A and B are shown apart, each in its own frame.
Chain A
């Protein structure tokens, strides 16, 4: 079972956190910090698995992570999951995000937390994997968007204004995640 899915950037700022087991808010934040601490101190070129921190359940749980450009994608899983399988799942997740957002970058995750949640929900539900087929996931997300569009009507107008915001002068414009040439690291 997947216990938690965390995405944070190189500085430890959380970009997505999804817990499939109940913790109170404080513990969740501590887990994110602890996980960041464990994962970020690791060199490149070491393996993608490590034992979970104490808060998440210690040695019973593994952290399986991948590091893409500015973001860490970390899945915390128990022993019933295949390590390599989860690595593939992370890859499917990122590729799906990339298709949905067209060259996904950290900003997309920031400004569209809800969308990211919805995409994730098509893949993982209650800690178990629902679907691994990218096309199927994207079809579902597309269908949602169509429905949104048809409902948006007049409310669609302000949406267009947002594109301007995305190009505003931001202090640190994160790089695209750049899915094209990902090697495993």
Chain B
């Protein structure tokens, strides 16, 4: 007999539903619904007390109306009343209504909480389960406050029924997710781990979700779960298909639980205990073996369940990345699936292989499947599968197969037909691969131009900027590039992006092909100008600049071009920018002498080396397949960290030794170069950062700085012409302070905190001395001006300042009332958490003054703001999901919670403040990349204010865990 007999139910409800279903039009339906709503409202408001059955009926009707998409703004009170009924049916429907319709209506929550409290203490398991369900489904903070301490007690109490335990475990999980601060770890935690041994499989199923989440956040506290999980898994895997009775699903013993156990193990490194590890390896081997056995059933559910476990096992093997034998087997297994007739398996195999491709052990093995993957890209009917194939190709690309893969991806782009978002990512990937693995640059130029031709609409600015940067920086490819763009522009319809590239490159290097009569200056000009009228304003502006460059390159075109500039459509253009350019260029070309013209319109100097803007963009965007390659950049180091090796390189120790005065390792982390002392200062102080970086001016610009930007070779000698460069680690003995510097002032930390979100201000002040700071940062470099002001009328003698790194001496005397200035050039080599110490000593009158401060250089100074769209943000956020990558703090507000103030602080921090990303407009979301010399660290931030409680929750996720931690500490002081 079926559990729900068909006749059960409420007549009124059935009639109402039938009425709705018989409605011929939307209007009729709405009319019927409104009639019913009015009816129910009057019943609820009426004098006659409703019996439980009627209440239940009306609440069901409301649920149905809600499902159809109509707002329900009443009935909540009646539902709450049902909660306190003693009848199960009424109570149940009350809870249902609340978990579907109530979210965090605070007034009601109090009443609901009351009812829940009664039910929890009723000792009636059914009622307790209903109450727990309700908490888990609503999961509001008020509920967490009310029940967070109660639920763990229920969960571990010896006399709790199994079904209640199950519900309690998931209920607690939900509360922990919404309000981790309210769920306090305690004696119950160890007992929760032992639920993995529970007799009742349902309890284990529920508990494991809880344990997985808790151990992600507190890995150490839950370490013991590893051995328990392994032994549980081993018992399941080795059991016969009938042993577990009801938990056997289509001949597979407890597939769901097995998957969850394997997921839990992925939160930890491989077990250290040899016996446990041996047992686990045995399990994994058994799972791999079973995949080869003939199926016990032809049903698809059987193979599904079996493969679900298999894929989780493979994920674990990839996660450990330490058993070459298993890795190879995993790779072979996935290889088989690549050609499986089940689409689902092909999809999952491609997805898993993507992660496998980034493993050192198996990168080569993955590459052997290249033909199959390319074939999938070409022939697969299912778009989702093709996307996975493209991702995998991207992940498996290296120098050996780059040409083939890029060619395949290009031809795929030509036929692909999906949405813009995906197309963009794909295009970026092609561009990156082409750049990363370019051996000869003519191939690179061809590829990018092809890309623009095929998918011009989806080529973002970064892509064409980059190709121009590269062409300008490499003179061996300039002629080829000019020739190629010239040919590409011949096409009758060519994409606007192509015109941009063409205009720029011909403007710079048109002379290289001008010898050929087929591409004489005039032909080039006419070709470009034929596209002019079809282009948007920014492109036209670019073309106008190209024209003026032509005048310089080819004096013979001057008359023609002046003619063009002079015509009304240019010189009287309604667009201000175009008009201004036309007027100015015309004037420039008429009055300036050839020499002046040649200087003004000189060929662009090579671009300073920087990371590919495309790569940066993709890092933000990162599709699943991108993970491996971008990470490969800083690969070796990363992978050693993953395996739990020490996180600091050996160079560390050198520094620590050279800085006896402080335990801080900051010295080597932050190389501080000291620039020429005071004398040069005041005039230069106002000058912008720009010239700081291109130090030696135009003469040197073609030299060392942008040697060969292409490969971003960090090893190349950095501007050796700069005599002032002093590596922090080198000569610590050059200026040993005569007396020990004082320990840092007690308020040094606080002073430092003042500068986290701003760059200029007074760092320190007492009766004698005032220290002001002005600083500027760009990428991983910074320049800081320190102003030491003598507030007295007496001279300071023997004035010295010592950084715990290294600095050039300042003027030894500071006259009364005078100010001296010190300039520091700062380069961030890698991330750091301790600020450098600045020790200042001088004699005032006869007394030696000795004072140590923290130099306000914090890691956030090296932020580059990163704008991104909501979906990119969340994707990135998700990718940083390892527990150690996240740092979170909940703290009381110390300052005003005014929106504008908070915004200003976040902007001062250096990240980009992103609007419309967080679904809750109250929250703040920021993104940025910390630039250090050795690597870039992507950081995402989310700040959730709670004005009522005057609290904040701050969450940071960074690609490097030490950075998350440090930023979190720094920022918690700011709000």
Q: What would 12 more interface pairs be, CB under 8 Å, given A58-B870, A82-B311?
A: A18-B100, A22-B104, A59-B623, A80-B212, A85-B308, A87-B344, A88-B301, A110-B17, A112-B4, A125-B132, A125-B137, A129-B206
| CB of B268 within 8 Å of the partner chain | no
Name the 3 nearest CB pairs between A and B, nearest first.
A126-B136, A84-B308, A102-B2
Give Cα distance in the complex from A22 to B756, angstroms: 35
- For A84, list chain B residues within 8 Å (CB): 304-305, 307-308, 311, 344, 348
- For A115, list chain B residues within 8 Å (CB): 4
Q: Mark A8-43, 1 if CB is under 8 A from B, else 0.
A: 000000111110101001000100000000000001
Whole-angstrom distance from the CB of B338 to the nearest CB of chain A?
13
Identity of the chain A residue whose Cβ is nearest the Cβ of B63 in the assembled complex: A113
- For B301, list chain A residues within 8 Å (CB): 88, 91
Please tell me which one of the listed residues A46, A92, A114, A142 contacts residue B381 in the complex, with CB atoms under 8 A apart: A46
| CB of B239 within 8 Å of the partner chain | no
- For A88, list chain B residues within 8 Å (CB): 249, 255-256, 301, 304-305, 308
Please tell me which one of the listed residues B12, B71, B89, B624 contacts residue A148 in the complex, with CB atoms under 8 A apart: B89
- For B382, list chain A residues within 8 Å (CB): 43, 46-47
- For B167, list chain A residues within 8 Å (CB): 125, 130
| CB of A69 within 8 Å of the partner chain | no
| CB of B60 within 8 Å of the partner chain | yes
Whole-angstrom distance from the CB of A79 to the nearest CB of chain B?
6
| CB of B592 within 8 Å of the partner chain | no
Give Cα distance in the complex from A163 to B14, angstroms: 9
Whole-angstrom distance from the CB of A142 to the nearest CB of chain B?
5
A148 near B14: Cβ-Cβ < 8 Å: no
A125 near B22: Cβ-Cβ < 8 Å: no
Identity of the chain B residue whose Cβ is nearest the Cβ of A30 in the assembled complex: B69
Q: Mark B56-94, 1 if CB is under 8 A from A, else 0.
A: 000010011011110100000000000000011100110
- For A80, list chain B residues within 8 Å (CB): 212, 263
Q: Mark A141-170, 1 if CB is under 8 A from B, else 0.
A: 111110110011001001111110110101
Give Cα distance in the complex from A20 to B209, angstroms: 15
A82 near B343: Cβ-Cβ < 8 Å: no
Give Cα distance in the complex from A142 to B25, angstroms: 39
Which positions 858-880 of chain B face chain A at CB distance < 8 Å? 870-871, 874-875, 877-878
| CB of B524 within 8 Å of the partner chain | no
A125-B171, A126-B136, A144-B88 are contacts. A159–B9 as well, Cβ < 8 Å? yes
Q: Mark A73-104, 1 if CB is under 8 A from B, else 0.
A: 00000111011110111011000000111100
B202 near A131: Cβ-Cβ < 8 Å: yes
Give Cα distance in the complex from A131 to B75, angstroms: 31
Which positions 199-229 of chain B face chain A at CB distance < 8 Å? 201-202, 205-206, 209, 212
B2 near A129: Cβ-Cβ < 8 Å: no
Give Cα distance in the complex from A65 to B916, angstroms: 29
B3 near A145: Cβ-Cβ < 8 Å: yes
B87 near A166: Cβ-Cβ < 8 Å: no
- For B103, list chain A residues within 8 Å (CB): 22
B9 near A112: Cβ-Cβ < 8 Å: yes
**Chain A, interface residues (CB within 8 Å), range:** 35 or more
B3 near A138: Cβ-Cβ < 8 Å: yes
Give Cα distance in the complex from A91 to B328, angstroms: 33
| CB of B155 within 8 Å of the partner chain | no
A118 near B92: Cβ-Cβ < 8 Å: yes
B346 near A128: Cβ-Cβ < 8 Å: no
B344 near A117: Cβ-Cβ < 8 Å: no
Please tell me which one of the listed residues B3, B60, B343, B623 contacts residue A100 in the complex, with CB atoms under 8 A apart: B3
Whole-angstrom distance from the CB of B103 to the nearest CB of chain A?
5
B87 near A128: Cβ-Cβ < 8 Å: no
Residue among A57, A59, A83, A89 with the most chain B CB within 10 A? A59
Please tell me which one of the listed residues A22, A99, A147 contacts residue B126 in the complex, with CB atoms under 8 A apart: A147
Identity of the chain B residue whose Cβ is nearest the Cβ of A134 in the assembled complex: B246
Identity of the chain A residue whose Cβ is nearest the Cβ of B67 in the assembled complex: A14
Please tell me which one of the listed residues A102, A132, A135, A148 contacts residue B205 in the complex, with CB atoms under 8 A apart: A132
| CB of B163 within 8 Å of the partner chain | yes
A159 near B10: Cβ-Cβ < 8 Å: yes
Give Cα distance in the complex from A135 to B249, angstroms: 11
- For A60, list chain B residues within 8 Å (CB): 874-875, 877-878
A126 near B174: Cβ-Cβ < 8 Å: yes
A51 near B384: Cβ-Cβ < 8 Å: yes
A128 near B209: Cβ-Cβ < 8 Å: yes
| CB of B781 within 8 Å of the partner chain | no
Give Cα distance in the complex from A17 to B259, angstroms: 26
- For A152, list chain B residues within 8 Å (CB): 89
- For B17, list chain A residues within 8 Å (CB): 110-111
- For A111, list chain B residues within 8 Å (CB): 9, 13-14, 17
Give Cα distance in the complex from A111 to B4, angstroms: 12
B88 near A17: Cβ-Cβ < 8 Å: no
Q: List 16 A-B contacts (CB under 8 A).
A: A45-B343, A46-B381, A47-B344, A49-B348, A79-B878, A85-B308, A88-B301, A91-B301, A92-B249, A111-B13, A130-B206, A131-B202, A148-B88, A158-B10, A159-B8, A165-B11
| CB of A133 within 8 Å of the partner chain | yes
- For A114, list chain B residues within 8 Å (CB): 60, 63, 93, 96
Give Cα distance in the complex from A184 to B18, angstroms: 32
Give Cα distance in the complex from A133 to B205, angstroms: 10
- For A177, list chain B residues within 8 Å (CB): none
| CB of B409 within 8 Å of the partner chain | no
A117-B96, A118-B96 are contacts. A16–B88 as well, Cβ < 8 Å? no
A49 near B344: Cβ-Cβ < 8 Å: yes
A43-B381, A84-B305 are contacts. A48–B344 as well, Cβ < 8 Å? yes
- For B64, list chain A residues within 8 Å (CB): 113
B871 near A54: Cβ-Cβ < 8 Å: yes
| CB of B846 within 8 Å of the partner chain | no
B308 near A130: Cβ-Cβ < 8 Å: no
- For B202, list chain A residues within 8 Å (CB): 130-133, 136
A58 near B875: Cβ-Cβ < 8 Å: yes
Give Cα distance in the complex from A100 to B682, angstroms: 85
Give Cα distance in the complex from A109 to B174, angstroms: 28
Whole-angstrom distance from the CB of B316 to the nearest CB of chain A?
12
- For A170, list chain B residues within 8 Å (CB): 18, 21-22
A59-B623, A162-B7, A184-B300 are contacts. A99–B2 as well, Cβ < 8 Å? yes
| CB of B312 within 8 Å of the partner chain | yes
Give Cα distance in the complex from A147 to B126, angstroms: 10
Whole-angstrom distance from the CB of A40 to the nearest CB of chain B?
15
Whole-angstrom distance from the CB of B315 to the nearest CB of chain A?
9
B67 near A59: Cβ-Cβ < 8 Å: no
B170 near A135: Cβ-Cβ < 8 Å: no
A126 near B11: Cβ-Cβ < 8 Å: no
Identity of the chain B residue whose Cβ is nearest the Cβ of A172 in the assembled complex: B21
| CB of B133 within 8 Å of the partner chain | yes
Identity of the chain B residue whose Cβ is nearest the Cβ of A83 in the assembled complex: B348
Give Cα distance in the complex from A43 to B173, angstroms: 38
B384 near A46: Cβ-Cβ < 8 Å: yes
B89 near A82: Cβ-Cβ < 8 Å: no
B7 near A163: Cβ-Cβ < 8 Å: yes
Give Cα distance in the complex from A101 to B6, angstroms: 7
Whole-angstrom distance from the CB of B2 to the nearest CB of chain A?
4
Give Cα distance in the complex from A171 to B19, angstroms: 11
Identity of the chain B residue whose Cβ is nearest the Cβ of A117 in the assembled complex: B96
Which positions 266-322 of chain B face chain A at CB distance < 8 Å? 300-301, 304-305, 307-308, 311-312
| CB of A140 within 8 Å of the partner chain | yes
Give Cα distance in the complex from A168 to B19, angstroms: 11
Which positions 129-168 of chain B face chain A at CB distance < 8 Å? 132-133, 136-137, 139, 163, 166-167
Give Cα distance in the complex from A111 to B57, angstroms: 12
Give Cα distance in the complex from A49 to B12, angstroms: 40
Whole-angstrom distance from the CB of B424 to the nearest CB of chain A?
13
A126 near B346: Cβ-Cβ < 8 Å: no
| CB of B188 within 8 Å of the partner chain | no
A92-B249, A127-B174, A132-B205 are contacts. A85–B96 as well, Cβ < 8 Å? no
| CB of B53 within 8 Å of the partner chain | yes
| CB of B120 within 8 Å of the partner chain | no
| CB of B491 within 8 Å of the partner chain | no
